[in-house]
């Protein structure tokens, strides 16, 4: 039986989807918010979804520990560009990409806890009139800071303010399939990461083409290597548990 498998369409997911060993998955590729929605509506058997929306689907889906899209500091592809210091954004206009699931919530967590305002309640604006703009994925990598005095990297900000690694996306499986499917997903992720490490130059080239097709700009090999070095795709049990449970334990979710 072929299983529907939600795959993040950004280049950050490439190392998790290199293996051709598993033939039983029918991949559905889209941006995080779309995958979140499909999962919430029960349209996927397996999915890589935004960690912060998991409570909305946990009744029907269980998390596979250890494998993820994560980071421990600078992440490069989740950025808030602002004309003002982040502490001054409460009464400003903000553009937030529709593609985000975790990133806007994580930025908001910091704004609420450190600066006392809800970023998600700021007035929304189109990009041209916004005082600040939040981008994720390929779009964040492609954007420059022209017109903005401040650039905040979520991974760097989270590490400095919270002191923990960040889980951006986690694998989930339908609960009724978890016992039989979770090991297949783990084996697939493990084999994919091994394949990425074995022939990294091949997948860097694939990422460059995918990035150009998406953004119509080029990205250098050195920048991509730095980017993939920033990302973490496997956490040990302790780091996964601490990072996964942090916001819940602090009463945010």
Q: In whole angstroms, what is the distance from residue 180 CA to residue 115 CA?
A: 45
- Annotated domain spans of the chain: 3-71+167-218+232-249, 78-162
pLDDT at 89: 96
Q: In whole angstroms, what is the distance from residue 142 CA to residue 136 CA?
A: 10
Of the candidate ranges 41-50, 107-116, 171-180, the one whose mean pLDDT is the lowest:
107-116
pLDDT digits over 112-170, tens only? 999 999 999 999 999 999 999 999 999 999 988 888 999 999 999 999 999 999 999 99
Domain 78-162, CATH among 3.40.50.150, 1.20.58.110, 3.40.190.10, 3.30.830.10: 3.40.190.10
Structure-derived torsion over alpha carbons of residues 67, 72, 73, 74, reported in degrees to the nearest 10: -30
- Strands, E, within the chain: which ranges? 3-8, 25-30, 46-50, 61-71, 78-82, 93-96, 123-124, 132-136, 150-153, 166-174, 231-234
pLDDT digits over 5-61, tens only? 999 999 999 999 999 776 789 999 999 999 999 999 999 999 999 998 999 999 999
Structure-derived torsion over alpha carbons of residues 56, 181, 23, 44, reported in degrees to the nearest 10: -20
Tokens describing residue 238: 């302790």
Residues listed for the chain: 253
CA atoms within 13 A on the CB side of 29: 8
Q: What is the pTM of this model?
A: 0.92
pLDDT at 252: 60
Q: In whole angstroms, what is the distance from residue 35 CA to residue 193 CA?
A: 22
Task: Say if residues 112 and 161 touch (Cβ distance below 8 Å).
Answer: no
Tokens describing residue 78: 């989740």
Establish whether domains 3-71+167-218+232-249 and 78-162 are of one fold: yes
DSSP 42-107: T--SEEEEEGGGGGGTTTTEEEEEEEEEEESS--SSEEEEESS-GGG-TTSEEEE-TT-SSHHHHH
pLDDT of residue 253 exceeding 70:
no
Q: In whole angstroms, what is the distance from residue 108 CA to residue 76 CA?
A: 18
Q: In whole angstroms, what is the distance from residue 18 CA to residue 198 CA?
A: 11
Question: Looking at the domain that runs over 3-71+167-218+232-249, which CATH code has it been given?
Answer: 3.40.190.10
């Amino acid at each position: 039986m072929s299983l529907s498998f939600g795959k993040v369409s950004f280049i950050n997911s490439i190392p998790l989807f290199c293996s051709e060993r598993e033939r039983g998955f029918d991949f559905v590729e889209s941006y995080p918010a779309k995958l979140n929605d499909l999962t919430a509506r029960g349209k996927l058997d397996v999915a890589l979804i935004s960690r912060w929306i998991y409570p909305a689907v946990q009744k029907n889906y269980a998390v596979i520990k250890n494998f993820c899209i994560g980071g421990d500091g600078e992440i490069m592809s989740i950025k808030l560009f602002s004309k003002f210091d982040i502490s001054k954004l409460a009464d400003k206009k903000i553009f937030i990409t529709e593609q985000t699931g975790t990133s806007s919530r994580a930025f908001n967590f910091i704004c609420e806890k450190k600066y006392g305002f809800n970023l998600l309640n700021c007035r929304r604006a189109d990009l041209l009139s916004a005082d600040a703009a939040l981008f994720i994925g390929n779009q964040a990598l492609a954007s420059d800071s022209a017109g903005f005095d401040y650039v905040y990297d979520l991974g760097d900000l989270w590490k400095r303010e919270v002191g923990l690694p960040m889980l951006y996306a986690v694998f989930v499986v339908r609960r009724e399939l978890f016992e039989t499917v979770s090991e297949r997903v783990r084996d697939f992720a493990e084999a994919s990461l091994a394949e990425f490490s074995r022939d990294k130059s091949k997948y860097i080239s694939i990422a460059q083409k995918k990035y150009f097709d998406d953004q119509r700009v080029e990205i250098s090999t050195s920048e991509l290597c730095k980017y993939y070095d920033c990302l973490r795709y496997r956490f040990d049990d302790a780091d996964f548990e601490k990072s996964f449970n942090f916001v819940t334990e602090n009463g945010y979710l």
